[in-house]
A = this chain, B = another copy of it.
């Protein structure tokens, strides 16, 4: 890899993540977010400052790799994850209006907006420079919004905005592992100097073995950086984004593939990426088989040589959530 030059450009790998569940108050079964035309998505993403790079689909989901992270569209669920200095929340109002006009869903059933604290909030657009500002904007749109901070406000933390009134009734779970202070050696494979393309990086890194049998769309950026979406029938996905530069290294792993226990998955992901620090969130509603895993995670205060610094468990109206932060002990 290129040596670190003085004052290199800082790239904020930390993503903003939006998940919106839609419903139709008239129970119109024909509503489907996937009926929205490509140019409409392109226009929406312009507000966010991101572009579609690639797309794959199966019978349950359309999955997009973006210039800044990913987008997943199923019948009634929209997921948008964007990094860098993107302006994700500028798209929320437009999204809701477009969805109503284009495919008939007239109600937001639940919303999850979340992110880790930024390393350089001052480089973000005004709107995203603090969670307070983000909450103000969301509160203007939603009557029953609830804003939380998990972890340490003055160190590493994770922000969440969600709704308190209705909620998703099908089994649902989301697992995220956000990693930083990455081992430089493990990051080399995500550069053009080492790998030829996305497929090559997926194979060399070991990402291909994390969830075998998954359908993959991967992309290696020039000169470095990596994104992948993986999908499984049923609307299940994994998505990985890598910022390999040593001065701002960051990797995110996210999946809604149901797991009765997350330990095996965590071990696989840590082995591939070898972070210095990471935080982990697990969401599950009571219909999910992952529900029991949250209690299991509470007991793990040491993991693969990492030490737990924080652990929190929350009961929301429809979901349970755990937040855990680990780091390698300083020797």
Contacts and interface: CB of A to CB of B under 8 A. Distances in A.
A157 to B, nearest CB: 9
Given A148-B152, A152-B146, A154-B139, A164 B131 contact: no
- Taken together, the copies of this chain in the complex come to 2
Interface string A147-169: 11101111100000000100000
Contacts of A308: 315
B139 A148 contact: no
A188 B151 CA distance: 41
Contacts of A314: 310-313
B311 A298 contact: no
A112 to B, nearest CB: 15
B139 A147 contact: no
A135 interface: yes
Interface string A300-319: 01000000111111111000
B154 A146 contact: yes
B313 A312 contact: yes
Contacts of A152: 146-148
A310 to B, nearest CB: 8
A309 B139 CA distance: 18
A128 to B, nearest CB: 16
Specify which of A301, A314, A316 lies most central, judged by the most chain B CB atoms within 10 Å of its CB: A314
Contacts of A147: 152-155
A145 interface: yes
A298 to B, nearest CB: 7
Contacts of A145: 154
B153 A149 contact: yes
A146 B155 contact: yes
Interface in A15-66: none
A317 B146 CA distance: 27
A312 B309 contact: no
A77 to B, nearest CB: 24
Nearest to A149: B149
A154 B131 CA distance: 11
A325 to B, nearest CB: 11
Contact of A315 (B135, B146, B154, B298): B298
A224 to B, nearest CB: 34
Contacts of A135: 153-154
A139 B153 CA distance: 12
Given A135-B154, A312-B315, A313-B314, 15 more contacts: A131-B153, A132-B153, A135-B153, A139-B154, A146-B152, A147-B152, A147-B153, A147-B154, A148-B149, A148-B153, A149-B149, A164-B309, A298-B315, A310-B315, A311-B315
